[in-house]
């Protein structure tokens, strides 16, 4: 394999234009059953979807650090169709941003907690999701679910409803073999996928990789030159590695 072209490594949200739709979304996959993932959060700036996230406590959303913008961010909970003002939706401003202290603006330690201005109201449409065990290993080759809002392919229109698909966990040595120095086995995991089932794309950053009902990963980066190329695994921040830091911030 040729060396990974650094210009082809892209964070999933970087093609966002605040005057248009996000270049986000699940390629292939299917529309999720409305409100079947009540922990999902749409992170928005000026009314436009930017990234995904998950509600882990009434007052905290977990996402990735590269989603932070200089402008104020709003968390939208209880949504299925983010193009509408659904009665189930709760719009809450972010009061404080907590990017990981070791995050430098690159791909390493790419995780962030968003402290909400007020507690979310938990109901049938808005619920928290429990976190995995500390340093728990996810077996390779099990199917996990990814979900997100936005574009469903290159030059395709945006899907404003939540979509989902499955991706398969890959061995860490396979991830390292493909991504070289960009992959850190202790705090990253990766998945393999096929073009028929599809997978995550730009804009789905911060959204969860759900394995055995737990969020094992947060969408981090892919191969931008061809994000639907199965040769390059999709990379996720490994949630279990950061549990001590998460608990410390939420004290």
- Catalytically active residues, by annotation: 66, 110, 205
Burial per residue of 213-231, b for 16 or more beta-carbon CB atoms within 10 angstroms, e otherwise: ebbbbbbbbbbbeebbeee
Burial zone of 2 (CB within 10 Å; 0-12 exposed, 13-18 middle, 19+ buried): exposed
Q: How many H-runs (helices) and E-runs (strands) does the chain carry?
A: 2, 16
Q: In three state form, how does the secondary structure of 100-131 look?
A: CCCCCCCCCCCCEEEEECCCCCCCCCCCCCCC
Query: Tokens at residue 223, please?
Result: 């191969």
Strands (E), the chain: 9-11, 26-28, 30-31, 40-45, 48-57, 60-63, 74-77, 90-99, 112-116, 143-151, 158-169, 188-192, 198-200, 208-211, 214-223, 234-238
Closest by CA to 53, choosing from 98, 102, 107, is 98
């Amino acid at each position: 394999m040729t060396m990974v072209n650094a210009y082809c490594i892209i964070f999933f949200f970087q093609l966002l234009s605040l005057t248009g739709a996000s270049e986000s979304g699940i390629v292939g996959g299917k529309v999720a059953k409305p409100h079947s993932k009540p922990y999902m959060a749409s992170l928005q700036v000026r009314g436009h979807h930017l990234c995904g996230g998950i509600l882990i406590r009434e007052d905290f959303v977990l996402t990735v650090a590269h989603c932070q913008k200089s402008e104020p961010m709003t968390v939208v909970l209880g949504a299925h169709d983010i193009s509408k003002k659904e009665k189930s939706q709760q719009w809450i401003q972010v009061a404080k941003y907590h990017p990981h202290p070791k995050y430098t603006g690159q791909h390493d330690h790419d995780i962030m907690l968003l402290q909400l201005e007020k507690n979310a109201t938990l109901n049938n449409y808005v619920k928290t999701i429990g976190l995995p065990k500390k340093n728990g290993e996810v077996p390779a080759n099990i199917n996990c679910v990814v979900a997100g809002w936005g574009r469903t392919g290159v030059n395709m229109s945006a899907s404003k409803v939540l979509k989902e698909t499955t991706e398969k966990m890959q061995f860490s040595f396979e991830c390292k073999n493909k991504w070289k120095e960009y992959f850190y086995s202790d705090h990253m995991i990766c998945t393999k996928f096929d073009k028929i089932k599809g997978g995550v794309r730009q804009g789905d950053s911060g959204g969860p990789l759900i394995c055995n009902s737990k969020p094992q990963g947060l969408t981090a980066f892919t191969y931008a030159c061809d994000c639907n190329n199965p040769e390059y695994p999709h990379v996720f921040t490994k949630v279990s590695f950061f549990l001590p830091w998460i608990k410390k911030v939420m004290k």
